[in-house]
Chains A and B, each alone.
Chain A
Amino acid sequence: MEEKKAVPSFDKLIVASSPHIRAAETVDRLMWQVIIALIPAAAVSVYFFGIRSLVLMLVGVASAVLTEALVQKALKKEITIADGSAALTGLLLAFNVPANAPWWMVAVGAAFAIAVVKQTFGGLGANFVNPALAARAFMLAAWPQHMTGRFPVPLDSITAATPLAILKGTATGTLPSYLDLFIGNVGGVLGETSALALLVGGAYLIWQKVIDWRTPAGFIGTVALLTWIFGGKGGLFTGDPLYHVLAGGLILGAFFMATDYVTSPITPKGRLIFGIGCGFITVLIRLWGGYPEGVSYSILLMNLVVPFLDRWTLPRVYGVTRARA
């Protein structure tokens, strides 16, 4: 280890005697684990949407990594593109566009995610919302013609309305079967269609202890419960929760975006509340809002209250009474 900076005050550093426990978790390892977990979904996407899907993912990753390097060079900061966080942002951003999106939009979106959402707030660990989702919101407002409407259908060159838009009644078409939804044989953005591939990746992350089960469980559970109660046309408790869970970007958002370390709570209770809040807002938008899908906005909105959730759910230290404000 080389000495990089002088520690300001040595009095505050208390070094106990050995042995020391060194955690294996590093930023690099966590980020690459998430990228590994996204490979099944990426592979399914390339199978269903063709080489176009791979091109968009590569453009997203390349633009994000290049932007990170350029901004860090311009700001005379240490260049940290090898930690995988920029690559992950670029990949998740590409997962959020339909297969017929123009490549330049993905490139601009990834640059926006890194340069505006991440680096202007201080880089990794300092951004207050998820960069990929904020860039998705930016692209949706900037080029709605490429981000909404009819999306390409797998293994075909035609486009169709997304299942959620049909479900909402804002578009016409035949609803795909549960099996098609589960394996990903439906129209949608690149990374959201295959519930199976995303669940495999999500299970891997939970097994590797990279993410906490509470956030996705709270998120998906709340969506299932509320759509079951309010989602049906024939009255309360006639909704179709399974369809609402499998269709749209819920599984992608719940496992891979709501669990972002920087923009989600650190306390277990906070993570559960965060997931429930995301689910609540998603259902509000899906059932009564203007858009057919609400996962990305729900996560962005909940990102904003994370500091409050963390303070609110701070565990009490044993033997210490809570200080009165």
Chain B
Amino acid sequence: MNMLRTFYNGIVPENPTLRLVIGMCPVLAVTTAVVNSVWMGLAVIFVLTASNILISLLRKFIPDKIRIPCFIVVIATFTTIADLVLAAVQPDVHKILGVFVPLIVVNCIILGRAEAFASKNPVHLALADGVGMGIGFTLAIMILASIREILGNGSWFGIRFMPAGFEPATVMILPPGAFVSLGFLLGTMNLITARLAARNSRSTERVPSHAADAGLEG
């Protein structure tokens, strides 16, 4: 139950991209096409989960004063693995993602979760947190990449589906398009959370009144 909640926490309530707004560099840079964002997301899920598990296992042995260098060594190891595997499996995608795969080492999300969560919690929770945060990041950049690829290139996953008369707005796959669509995505996320919060507070208010009604009838 607790593992499930930790997992869900990374996807909606504390989504690293849309709620915490950290690790923005790859979010803006690799979302020009959905395929790129999927591979970037997979690399981040792998590095985040693996480093969370290892750091959680080592949390009693890492001296407090040098914990950041220790975290970086662990994260850099897994990032190197991800980088080499991606270069072997998907050389084209690896070339497009370029420097952003090695840059996972200094990504705020991974270091942030190591510091804020994995170094303080048992392994099973650190695993759930890593997978949840990783999937939350991947979903967010996939949505952003979908908006940008559809409007800026008229395609999705590289398949052109918009009618021939549609002239893609090139600006959407340029940096300004990333900022504008990210702004609207963050706004939409805030709107949804506000609506959900309003509905939750109303439904919890209603519970006692229903109980009171039932009591009266009984």
Contacts and interface: CB of A to CB of B under 8 A. Distances in A.
Interface of A: 102, 108, 116, 120, 138, 141-144
B102 to A, nearest CB: 30
Given A120-B183, A142-B172, 16 more contacts: A102-B167, A108-B169, A116-B180, A120-B187, A138-B171, A138-B176, A141-B170, A141-B171, A141-B176, A142-B169, A142-B170, A142-B171, A143-B167, A143-B169, A143-B170, A144-B170
B174 interface: yes
Choose among A108, A116, A142 the residue with the greatest number of B CB atoms under 10 Å from its CB.
A142
A142 B172 CA distance: 7
Nearest to B166: A104
Choose among B167, B172, B174, B176 the residue with the greatest number of A CB atoms under 10 Å from its CB.
B167
Nearest to A116: B180
A141 B180 contact: no
Contacts of B170: 141-144
Contacts of A138: 171, 176
**Dominant SS at the B interface?**
helix
Nearest to B170: A142
19 contacts: A102-B167, A108-B169, A116-B180, A120-B183, A120-B187, A138-B171, A138-B176, A141-B170, A141-B171, A141-B174, A141-B176, A142-B169, A142-B170, A142-B171, A142-B172, A143-B167, A143-B169, A143-B170, A144-B170
B182 to A, nearest CB: 13
Interface string B165-200: 001011110101000100100010000000000000
Interface size class of B (residues with CB under 8 A): 10 to 19
B167 to A, nearest CB: 6
A120 B180 CA distance: 11
Nearest to A140: B171
A102 B167 CA distance: 11
A106 B174 CA distance: 20
Interface in B97-138: none
Contacts of A144: 170
A143 B171 CA distance: 8
A108 B174 CA distance: 18
Contacts of A108: 169
A262 to B, nearest CB: 20
B53 to A, nearest CB: 42
Contacts of A120: 183, 187
Q: Closest 3 interchain pairs by CB?
A: A142-B169, A141-B171, A142-B171
Nearest to B167: A143
Contacts of A142: 169-172
A242 B169 CA distance: 37
A116 B172 CA distance: 14
Contacts of B172: 142
A108 B167 CA distance: 12
A120 B183 CA distance: 10
A108 B170 CA distance: 14
Interface string B139-178: 0000000000000000000000000000101111010100
A143 B170 CA distance: 6
B38 to A, nearest CB: 25
A232 B170 CA distance: 36
Contacts of B174: 141
Nearest to A138: B171
Interface string B71-95: 0000000000000000000000000
B191 to A, nearest CB: 11
A116 B182 CA distance: 13
Contacts of A141: 170-171, 174, 176
A116 B176 CA distance: 12
Choose among B170, B171, B174 the residue with the greatest number of A CB atoms under 10 Å from its CB.
B171
B112 to A, nearest CB: 29
Nearest to A112: B180
A192 B167 CA distance: 26
B186 to A, nearest CB: 11
A116 B181 CA distance: 10
B133 to A, nearest CB: 29
A122 B15 CA distance: 27
